Structure 1
Amino acid sequence: MSGTTLKFIMAILMVLDHIGYFVPPEVGGIFHVLTRCVGVFFCYMAVEGFHYTRNRKSYLLRLTGMAIFMEIGNRVINWLIHDPAIAVHNNIFLTLAAGIAMIYLISLVTKQSSGLKKSFLILASIFVFGLGITFTEGGIVELPFMLITYLCRNKPKVRNILYLVMSVVLFSMSFVSYPTLSETLSMLAYNSDFMFITVLPFIYLYNGKRGMNNVFSKYFFYFFYPIHLWLIAVLSENLL
């Protein structure tokens, strides 16, 4: 499948993940598990975009601009709805911008002859990595995922092993045993970052082709993400 087709599939799954206010908790838990592949798939495609783009600086600036746009939009929506329970704090663009900044710095290392400059770029990339993990949405999963994806782009077996190791580490960090199996499974449903590994089938479905290539396909996903979250927040405020 082309990148565009897979992104449309992910957009549908994305909506399922964000409609928890409108479905029973147990259904919301199932949706949450099934959609752990969404964020990391867009991270995967961001790394692909970084590889193919003719202007990496422009690509990074576009993601940064969208992160700023979404942050402003979030603040406006949250001011309008006056309900902390349904406030919008998501901003995947900030995560993507941090990830692309990190791998951009890494990509510059091999182009430097000076050991001092190489050391500076490595330290800068580590700094961005640390900030991204600490302050961005899903950063603890998505920044390491982007790093592995970039460094192992031509080594799929190594990449997959590292994904698996990362999934096991995340599982061990989130697992807590409860008195009953039902409670334990419920806990895992809402602490299911380790399930990002379900992105692998979609990565293998990706045929390396961009797919649709026009203004609509270029910008639809940039704006679908914030707008659908804002609409869900407004509907939640007025219908619940």
Structure 2
Amino acid sequence: MNEIKEWLEECKEKYGNLSGEQLKLIALFFMLLDHVGYRMTLWNLVDNTKLWIHIGDIFRVFGRIAFPIFAFLVAEGFRYTSDRKMYALRMFVFAVISEIPFDMLKNYSMHKNNDYSRFFDISSQNVMLTFFLAIVMLVLIEEYKLRKTTYYAYYEYVYVIGFCIFAYIVRCDYHYFGILLVWFFYKYVDEFYICVLFVALMYFIQGEYMGVVSLIPIFLYNGKRTNKLMSSRESKMHKYFFYVFYPLHMLILSFLFNSTII
């Protein structure tokens, strides 16, 4: 085991030069690919064009790479932010903003049949709500840790299980898996092999093997937000671009794939 850890550390030192910003761009690319693929498969239900569903399925396979990277970045964001409660609030605000675009992305028939009853669909919630819950969980865990009580470890697991159950009940995207993944990346960041085992196990159980590939760019993360110097204004613009991209791209895809052009 020590030999493996030493080899991994050597590889990371030699090849690990991906900044947080570059990781976000990689995750955004594969998320976009996933959502385009999803809309293609929905289009097939109406258009009955096999080409759509084949291309869509391929896109969705590669799209599995996105989520673990986002979960890792949320854990890193929580670790280094100067205001954790504001971080949670910001995630919640964008979760609310993203809900209607998320519902529009899922519901193909909404525009096609002029059925706007599912314009706001409570049957499932967007992934930013999952991340909001994960951040709140980490806030509570860290606050309880400061009390230095004997039973801290037990309470941590109670929080994790409780938030997993809640995420499942309210039907957040990725539900308990999303909560667990953020927690694992936060708790075991210095024991990366544990995260590897967990991600591999979860994705192999679900039969979505491509998700394991996400561990490669995560492993090559250099711990820096960016590899270039930026002013505070540029840094803020970059940060909010990633938040805005999520609802915006879903809105665009929803209208694009419901237009008469395609």
Range of TM-score over shorter length: 0.7 to 0.9
SS state of the match for residue 222, structure 2?
coil
- 2:179 corresponding residue in structure 1: 143
* Distance change in 2, residues 1:123/1:140 (3 Å): closer
Alignment length (residue pairs): 218
* Distance change in 2, residues 1:116/1:199 (3 Å): closer
- 1:59 corresponding residue in structure 2: 87
- 2:67 corresponding residue in structure 1: 39
Residue 221 (str. 1) matches residue 238 (str. 2): no
* Distance change in 2, residues 1:117/1:54 (3 Å): same
* Distance change in 2, residues 1:13/1:117 (3 Å): closer
* Distance change in 2, residues 1:118/1:220 (3 Å): same
Show CA shifts across 1:93-123 (max 9, x none).
1011111122222222321145688866653
Once the two structures are TM-superposed, the CA of residue 205 in structure 1 deviates from its matched residue by: 2.3
| In structure 1, C-alpha distance between the alignment counterparts of 2:84 and 2:58, rounded to whole Å | 37
TM-score under structure 1 length normalisation: 0.78
- 2:252 corresponding residue in structure 1: 231
| In structure 2, C-alpha distance between the alignment counterparts of 1:113 and 1:2, rounded to whole Å | 34
1:102-141 correspondence to structure 2 within 5 Å: 102-114=137-149, 123-134=158-169, 135-141=171-177
| In structure 1, C-alpha distance between the alignment counterparts of 2:54 and 2:125, rounded to whole Å | 22
1:69 to 76, 97, 122: 97
| In structure 2, C-alpha distance between the alignment counterparts of 1:227 and 1:41, rounded to whole Å | 20
| In structure 2, C-alpha distance between the alignment counterparts of 1:170 and 1:73, rounded to whole Å | 26
| In structure 2, C-alpha distance between the alignment counterparts of 1:221 and 1:76, rounded to whole Å | 20
TM-score under structure 2 length normalisation: 0.72
**Greater length-normalized contact order (CA 8 Å, ≥ 6 residues apart):** 1
Greater displacement, 13-22 / 61-70 = 13-22
RMSD: 3.0
2:203 to 138, 163, 167: 167
Once the two structures are TM-superposed, the CA of residue 11 in structure 1 deviates from its matched residue by: 1.6
Query: Are the equivalent residues in 1 in contact too, given 2:129–2:172 (CA < 8 A)?
Result: yes
Once the two structures are TM-superposed, the CA of residue 49 in structure 1 deviates from its matched residue by: 0.3
SS state of the match for residue 238, structure 1?
coil
* Distance change in 2, residues 1:122/1:38 (3 Å): same
Once the two structures are TM-superposed, the CA of residue 71 in structure 1 deviates from its matched residue by: 2.2
Greater displacement, 101-110 / 37-46 = 101-110
Q: Which has the higher helix share?
A: 1
Greater displacement, 144-153 / 107-116 = 107-116
* Distance change in 2, residues 1:2/1:197 (3 Å): same
Residue 3 (str. 1) matches residue 20 (str. 2): yes
Query: Are the equivalent residues in 2 in contact too, given 1:63–1:93 (CA < 8 A)?
Result: yes
| In structure 1, C-alpha distance between the alignment counterparts of 2:222 and 2:181, rounded to whole Å | 20
- 2:34 corresponding residue in structure 1: 17
Query: Are the equivalent residues in 2 in contact too, given 1:47–1:150 (CA < 8 A)?
Result: yes
Query: Are the equivalent residues in 2 in contact too, given 1:112–1:118 (CA < 8 A)?
Result: no
Query: Are the equivalent residues in 1 in contact too, given 2:98–2:246 (CA < 8 A)?
Result: no
Unaligned runs of 5+ in 1: 172-191
What percentage of residue pairs aligned between the two structures are identical? 28
